[in-house]
Amino acid sequence: MFERDQKYIFARMRQNRTYALLRSAAQFLFGAVVLALLTYVCFRLQANPTTVALLYLIVIVVVSLTSSFIPAAFISIVAYICLDSFFTAPLFRPAMREPLDVVAPIAFLTTSFVITRLMSRVRKSFHEIQALQDQLRLAIDTIPGLVWSALPDGSAEFLNQRWLEYTGLSLKEGLDWGGKVAVHPEDLARFLDEWKAALADGKPLETEARLRRADGEYRWLLIRAVPLRDEAGKIVKWYGASADIEDRKRAEETLRKSQAELAHVTRVTTMGELAASIAHEVNQPLSAIVNNSSACLRWLASEEPNLDETREAVRRIIRDGNRAAEVIARIRALLRKTDTEKARLDINQTIRDVVMLTRNEATGKGVAIRMELAAGLPAVLGDRVQLQQVILNLILNGIEAMSSVTDRPRELLVSSRQYESVKALITVRDSGVGLGEQDLERIFDAFHTTKSQGLGMGLAISRSIVEDHGGRLWGVLNEGPGATFQFTLLPYRL
């Protein structure tokens, strides 16, 4: 395409030169014909020589405005010969006897020289501007991106060649808001809303949408647009550029799936570490169910069945059965392997579910878990399973950090509160051995661990999950013993 455009520009330059020569010849002939007619009319009317000289000068000016100096000079000489031969004595014979015979040729040639000189500069400037426009158009068409411009009302004004080749639309189709035809139907309404909002607010636009390529395939594009304003601040034009990000999108999706796989493996490994505690958590309600069932049988086997006690025992069986089912449901939720599903989430209830799973583990290691959850905390946007994994990892790390503590109470505080007016902040604070300053950031690196049996993946995965939710996970040293890990979450918005 680049070589084709170069050939087009060179051919156009040669065509312009040929056209300029033909135009000069035509203007000379036009001037000569006008002079002949003007001479004939003025001679028949016996016009004053000064009047004729002024009329000739007008013809010279017209010719000079549209041609180069040589045709204008020839017209000036012809005009002087006609003036001297037909309007000043002696007639029909050139002779410079009158003052007008001297002034006229000087005036004619000077006028033609000055005007053609000025027009030459104007034409040169015009050609330079035209050449710059051609070069600019060539550069814009060569840019590896889809470049366009729009009027203040949003209607398309310009589309570069790559845009037309990418979409397979003609220039007319493209300028007639072809983007609406090329944008994926699922993205069209959102894209138009964002574009209209940018036009109304006068703010730069940056969005992503799928655009149909010439071969019919829809591909993701990053679309950016910025307004151009005049000195008064009024928008006079919009300039935009779009870049194909389909490959990046696919790479991100592949990375997301890999992270999800790794997170699932980590959850399974973590649940394996909690196997004894989970077994105890499930065993308690099952044992109670067995005991209550035995009591029911005894009361029903007596000569006078104690129906009141039997009913109470059955209620306890139902309660313990539901309790066991809830424990298993929480375990299944953590172990399930599904795609990320971000939705409205009560983060306080999510914390309670995880604490219930880890309470026996904490009790077995002499750790008291305390919760301080802010009442009325707004719902957050998140995936329940992934955020449970983050909280579970932070709680287990806190319990592990206090395993060697013997000189103070082992207490783990899990809290939630509002942060920066709209976000939710979840904090896990332990009273363990703490961390060194150099470890505060390194512990989030993959395969870096402070545990003898650790893989060094838990915090790295937790940080990637939180960042995918638009939040931030970090650690700080306590003023006293231990460390605090906390992360933020964005609020849920309709």
Q: Return the minimum-mean-pLDDT range out of 102-111, 306-315, 451-460.
A: 451-460
Determine the number of helices (DSSP H) and then strands (DSSP E) in the chain: 15, 12
* 483 in Cβ contact with 477 (< 8 Å): yes
pLDDT at 191 over 70: yes
Residues 285 and 390 in one domain: no
Residues 165 and 215 in one domain: yes
Residues 224 and 155 in one domain: yes
Spatial distance between the Cα atoms of 462 and 441, rounded to a whole number of angstroms: 13
Residues 440 and 493 in one domain: yes
Cα 418 to Cα 145, 152, 180, 373, 380, distances in angstroms: 43, 42, 42, 10, 11
* Structural domains of the chain, count: 4
Which residue, among 121, 383, 168, 115, has the nearest Cα to 264 in the 3D structure? Answer: 383
Spatial distance between the Cα atoms of 187 and 207, rounded to a whole number of angstroms: 11
Among 209, 244, 279, the domain boundary falls at 244
Residues 17 and 55 in one domain: yes
Spatial distance between the Cα atoms of 153 and 196, rounded to a whole number of angstroms: 9
The predicted pLDDT at position 9 comes to 52
Residues 215 and 320 in one domain: no
Residues 324 and 388 in one domain: no
Taking every pair of Cα atoms in the chain, the longest distance, rounded to a whole number of angstroms, is: 162
| Domain-located, residue 67 | yes
Report residue 193 CA to chain centroid gap. Answer: 15
pLDDT at 130 over 80: no
Residue 370 banded pLDDT, cuts 50, 70, 90: very high
| Domain-located, residue 155 | yes
Give the dihedral of Cα atoms 136, 140, 141, 146; nearest 10 deg: -160
The predicted pLDDT at position 415 comes to 94
Which residues form the domain of 308? 266-338
Range from 69-78, 115-124, 187-196 that averages highest in pLDDT: 187-196
pLDDT at 1 over 50: no
Among 114, 140, 166, the domain boundary falls at 140
Residues 331 and 428 in one domain: no
Q: Return the minimum-mean-pLDDT range out of 148-152, 262-266, 371-375, 403-407.
A: 262-266
The predicted pLDDT at position 488 comes to 94
Among 190, 210, 244, the domain boundary falls at 244
Which residue, among 210, 277, 214, has the nearest Cα to 244 in the 3D structure? Answer: 210
- The DSSP symbol for 233 reads S
Residues 17 and 126 in one domain: yes
Spatial distance between the Cα atoms of 388 and 333, rounded to a whole number of angstroms: 9
Residue with the bigger pLDDT between 9 and 406: it is 406
| Domain-located, residue 413 | yes
Residue with the bigger pLDDT between 269 and 243: it is 243
Domain harbouring 225, CATH code: 3.30.450.20
% residues pLDDT > 90 (the chain): 9
Number of Cβ atoms within 10 Å of the Cβ of 460: 20
Residues 463 and 389 in one domain: yes
Residues 363 and 480 in one domain: yes
Backbone angles phi, psi at 417, to 5 degrees: -165, 170
Spatial distance between the Cα atoms of 107 and 96, rounded to a whole number of angstroms: 15
Residue 250 banded pLDDT, cuts 50, 70, 90: confident
- Rg, Å, the chain Cα set: 44
Establish whether the linkage from the previous residue to 152 is cis, with ω within 30° of 0: no
| Domain-located, residue 255 | no
- Collect all residues with Cβ–Cβ distance below 8 Å to 393 and sequence separation of at least 6: 266, 270, 458, 459, 461, 462
Residues 291 and 310 in one domain: yes
Backbone angles phi, psi at 414, to 5 degrees: -115, 120
Which residue, among 64, 46, 47, 43, has the nearest Cα to 108 in the 3D structure? Answer: 64
Number of Cβ atoms within 10 Å of the Cβ of 109: 17
| Domain-located, residue 259 | no
pLDDT at 346 over 90: yes
pLDDT at 372 over 90: yes
Helix-strand-coil percent breakdown of the chain, rounded to 5? 60, 15, 25
Domain harbouring 314, CATH code: 1.10.287
| Domain-located, residue 261 | no
Q: H helices of 336-469, where?
A: 347-364, 384-401, 439-442, 458-468
The predicted pLDDT at position 490 comes to 92
pLDDT tens by residue, 286-302: 776 777 787 788 777 77
B/e letters for 187-222, b = 16+ CB within 10 Å, e = fewer, are bbeebbebbeebbeeeeebebebbbbbeeeebbbbb
The predicted pLDDT at position 342 comes to 81
| Domain-located, residue 253 | no
Q: By CB neighbour count within 10 A (0-12 exposed, 13-18 middle, 19+ buried), where does 138 fall?
A: middle
The predicted pLDDT at position 96 comes to 60
The predicted pLDDT at position 263 comes to 59
The predicted pLDDT at position 2 comes to 45
| Domain-located, residue 360 | yes
Which residue, among 60, 28, 55, 59, has the nearest Cα to 43 in the 3D structure? Answer: 55
